[in-house]
Structure 1
């Protein structure tokens, strides 16, 4: 049986790294994209080569590809390469985002305007990757397009740019699902909880103990959920929806790497909006 072919964007560290490694554990070939090619490229460490090596160690095949997701031609070249090497794609995980510096007290107009970059690399970039991936997913006869989402789509988190990116990505996934449904390709947004990423742990270390939230999901949990969703015979029924990862994991019998079951934050932070029937038909 041919291995699953997956692309995880923004996978030098954080959620993307965890998702890539979890997919590698299923034996998948995972194309790992990002801009970090040297250990010093980010204060939080991590490179695409390091993630690819972890995919190998997990049992898959990691393929590091340096891609700046603000560069449309680089994204097109990535999927042209996959076309030449495999002629198909099973899973695309749109995770790349230009995360702004933590906001300071005050309104959005009092913080750096660079926060808007998240709409370019984080929303527009998702569309560009999906645009080039769609023919490969369709050629496969069955596929899954995932956007990594968050409760910030419906509750306040890190300011207006963050909310616009998350809400926009949810709606984009729903509309893509509508277009892809006749081709047996599903598109979903999976909302992640608080993650134990390098960036998050560094930030938490600066806070007083009483301000540190717990429990937190591992970055691999979402990857485990994605793998289980792709393998599920009920995949088409989930298409078009924004799904809380903790709830979807519970439905699919997925646990975190330490055996725990992450908790939904629906009551605390909100729930995905209901879709109009025109998106579900």
Structure 2
């Protein structure tokens, strides 16, 4: 399987100021892609974890691609429509959409869902509805391209408890959304999948672990945010892209299937047997 997209290509990665979105955007840009990166952060002080869309775009440029930072509030449907209208004006097509934008409550207190801030439910707006809106506007551009891919960033929280019911509903909903969009898009050779990421080495994760007592900090290697981007690039180029369309896929297992490793050459481990998972990859192919 090829590890990169052949020929010029255009991608949109939402929620790419930092974390998973930033890593995915950088990995997609490295082979020379034009990557539109969206988010609300234009200043590092906009988030306690730093990072801006402009910084991400600059890193893509340095890596050999073309990064285009577009400030978008993904709760604003008109702003999202204008983003894809711009892509259409610039290129008339789109290869890949990665839906990663999410409104996550910072420093939510531990406890049962009714004891947490009600705005935890905002994740169902920016994180689920926003995926639908972005896909709605992206679909005509993907179809015009003659081959396309929509990826919703997923997690084991779709089937196991993680951060509470709003998070679980968002992840399970994103899986189902990809499955149903795949059915509508299949006649146009456009795929839609959800890719479950493992524990990521992100700014948020580092800050969280640094605040824990030394004895409580987890050990072991975490996935780089770029790993999922490398997997997405290889999936787009893969011969069996349409066979995998509609599936929720564990990134570590998909990476092994496609022959993709992390940036340090290691192979991330699937957490299927500790956290649950979707149907196994080999069953989805045969």
Q: How many Å separate the matches in 2 of 1:210 and 1:163?
A: 28
Give the alignment partner of residue 136 of structure 2, picking from 131, 136, 156.
131
> Is residue 2:251 matched to residue 1:235?
no
* Structure 1 residue corresponding to 2:125, chosen from 120, 125, 138: 120
Which protein, 1 or 2, shows the higher relative CO under an 8 Å CA cutoff with sep ≥ 6?
A: 2
Question: Is 1:148 aligned to 2:128, yes or no?
Answer: no
- 1:192 and 1:230 map into 2 onto residues whose CA distance is 17
Deviation at 1:210, TM superposition (A): 3.6
Q: Which residue of 2 aligns with 1:50?
A: 55
SS at match of 2:195: strand
Q: How does 1:58-207 map to 2 (within 5 A)?
A: 58-207=63-212
1: distance between equivalents of 2:17 and 2:213? 29
8 Å CA contact 1:23, 1:223 repeated in 2: yes
SS class of match (2:186): helix
2:3 aligned partner: none
Shift of 1:267: 0.4
Distance, in Å, in 1 between the alignment partners of 2:15 and 2:267 is 25
Q: What is the TM-score with the length of structure 2 in the denominator?
A: 0.94
* Residue number among 230, 240, 260 corresponding to 1:254 in the alignment: 260
Instruction: Note the residue ranges of structure 2 that are not aligned, 5 or more in a row.
Output: 1-5
SS in 1 for 2:24: helix
* Count of matched residue positions in the alignment of Structure 1 and Structure 2: 276
Q: CA deviation at 1:2?
A: 5.0
C-alpha distance in 2, partners of 1:215/1:208? 19
Deviation of 1:101 (Å): 2.5
Q: Which secondary structure state, in structure 1, belongs to the residue aligned with residue 149 of structure 2?
A: strand
Q: Secondary structure at the match of 1:98?
A: coil
Counterpart of 1:220 in structure 2 is 226
Per the TM alignment, residue 4 of structure 1 is displaced from its structure 2 partner at its CA by 0.8
The one-character-per-residue Cα deviations of 1:74-108 (angstroms, maximum 9, x if unpaired) are 00000000110100000000000001124433210
Cα distance in 2 for residues equivalent to 1:209 and 1:270: 29
Work out the CA distance in 1 between the residues paired with 2:11 and 2:40. Answer: 18
**Secondary structure at 1:156 match in 2:** coil
Aligned residue in 2 for 1:264: 270
Tell me the secondary structure at the aligned position of residue 135 of structure 1: helix
Distance across 2 between alignment mates of 1:175 and 1:75: 21
